[in-house]
Structure 1
Amino acid sequence: MTAPSPAAVKDTKSPPLASELLSGALMLTMQRPERMNSLSEEMLAALQAGFDAAAQNAEVRVIVLRSTGKAFCAGHDLKEMTAARAHADRGRAYYADVMNRCSELMQTIVRLPKPVIAVVEGLATAAGCQLVASCDLAIATDTATFCTPGVNIGLFCSTPMVALSRNVGRKQAMEMLLTGEVIDASTAKQFGLINRIVPKDYLEVVVRKYAETIASKSPLTLKIGKEAFYAQAEMPLAEAYAYCANVMVENMLARDAEEGINAFLQKRKPEWKGE
């Protein structure tokens, strides 16, 4: 019997990211449990492609990011990172490329014109914690844990710090970054890293409810709102009000706003056109 070629063996391997569209909700599932769904080159590319495609698909109203196995995401693939030290430049070019690609992925999630919900089961560590913080909403099981442990191995979690410090209080972010200690779901909720804690048996029901609720809204309104939220957050108060007042004016002139207000006054369900 002839042994299969390496390429043939690779082809039988399941893709790193599974995709399923359910009633306007795109379920993206990281499925490399044997590698703790780490952000390997393969996973980074798959996630980037998945989010880019979702941005262009009019049928997608909301994205749900989840995982298989015991970890949500273990951050960067340290085996790949270590192997790059054998390069002539000790890995400098490789590390710069990986960090840039990871940073672009996180910014893609923030810039995406559709809400992204992280569903966390198990551990979210380092860049995996960054991934959770970059999503618009996060739902976790009561056994989920979070940490930015780079300081423990001599590598401060500087890029995860960007997303973390924009989603939790400064002192809470520094606590996680300086100690590298694992926090439980309850503490993560207190810090503002996640929205809700759900028993595992009810996770699917709650996630579907969140997704269906968001998917039922006007896609144009969601796009306008998400873009404005992140833009105003970086502005001084007066500038933020001026910017958002203009956003409200333009939104009020949209057909979906006209339809939504009329439907409310007429006590009927609105019919969104996305315009």
Structure 2
Amino acid sequence: MSPLKIRQEDNILEVVLDRPKANAIDLATSREMGRAFAQFRDDPDLRVAIITGSGTKFFCPGWDLKAAAGGDAVDGDYGVGGFGGLQELRDLNKPVIAAVNGIACGGGLELALSADMILAANHATFALPEIRSGTVADAASIKLPKRIPYHIAMELLLTGRWFDAAEARSWGLINEVLPAGQLMDRAWELARLIASGPPLVYAAIKEVVRDAENSKFQDTMNRITQRQLKSVDILYGSEDQREGARAFAEKRDPVWKGR
């Protein structure tokens, strides 16, 4: 039985992590998630993805410790996108929305951090408890101090304490907190809004943001103006960019074709 429930509607892909009781991720699940998100990346008809968990208690608690006890190696083959299929997936130039429907801790929080936007149910809770099991929250140690104030990120990493959705929102870690019954409706509303926009521009935004993360401002600007970033080069020579200018001049909504 597949650990994922996958639904496609028009240009949107929904990936539901479905591994009762807690939606924990073992090696096989991670590899399947990697395949799903790689297919999303490579399918020109898909523009936005949503990642969520089944049920109302768990989004994802991260690594499946029972599988580890049964022989899954923590440094084993996670698949094409690394743990959870997202955080190391190369050239993913499409928006991903995480809809956190419950507990997101350890690798589950890292999975959410791999998305471009995070929505959370008002009962969702978060933690990085790796410190208590004598290991490191590796991806979170890289990402979290860049997303929220350094001292708060270090407190969460060094203590492993739990925090709720309201606190996560207060630090800018998530975009919105919603009643549980409204979470997926809002995720799909946001996905449809994004899917109606210019996909080549989204691709350029994501590549520019990635390039700028570890570069000086002027270095990235030079790569943009010299068309050294693939997605920017495609955008600048695209039919969609001409369509955007025409639509503005003609005072009408543009029709994006992704080419």
Using the size of structure 1 for normalisation, the TM-score is: 0.84
Q: In the alignment, what sits opposite 2:83? A: 102
Contact 1:44/1:102 (8 A) holds in 2: yes
Letter in 1 for 2:176: R
Larger radius of gyration: 1
Change (3 A) 1:137 1:257: same
User: 1:1-275 counterparts in 2 under 5 A?
Assistant: 13=1, 15-34=2-21, 36-69=22-55, 70-84=57-71, 94-98=73-77, 101-102=82-83, 105-108=86-89, 111-246=91-226, 250=233, 251-275=235-259
Contact 1:74/1:126 (8 A) holds in 2: yes
Shift of 1:39: 1.4
Which stretch has the larger CA shift, 185-194 or 140-149? 185-194
Q: Percent identity?
A: 29
Paired residues, number: 252
Shift of 1:104: 6.6
- Per-residue CA deviations over 1:207-228 (Å, capped at 9, x if unaligned) read 1221011101122221111111
Contact 2:27/2:78 (8 A) holds in 1: no
Using the size of structure 2 for normalisation, the TM-score is: 0.89
Contact 1:148/1:157 (8 A) holds in 2: yes
Measure the CA separation in 1 of the matches of 2:130 and 2:174: 21
Which stretch has the larger CA shift, 197-206 or 94-103? 94-103
Looking at secondary structure, tell me which structure has more helix per residue. Answer: 1
Change (3 A) 1:56 1:164: same
- Per-residue CA deviations over 1:162-219 (Å, capped at 9, x if unaligned) read 2323332322221111110111111112222211111122223311221011101122
Measure the CA separation in 1 of the matches of 2:42 and 2:196: 18
Change (3 A) 1:246 1:206: farther
Please, which runs of 5 or more residues in structure 1 have no aligned partner? 1-12, 85-90
RMSD: 2.1
> Structure 1 residue runs of 4+, over 3 Å off?
98-101, 244-253
Contact 1:133/1:167 (8 A) holds in 2: no
Contact 1:233/1:240 (8 A) holds in 2: no
Shift of 1:17: 0.6
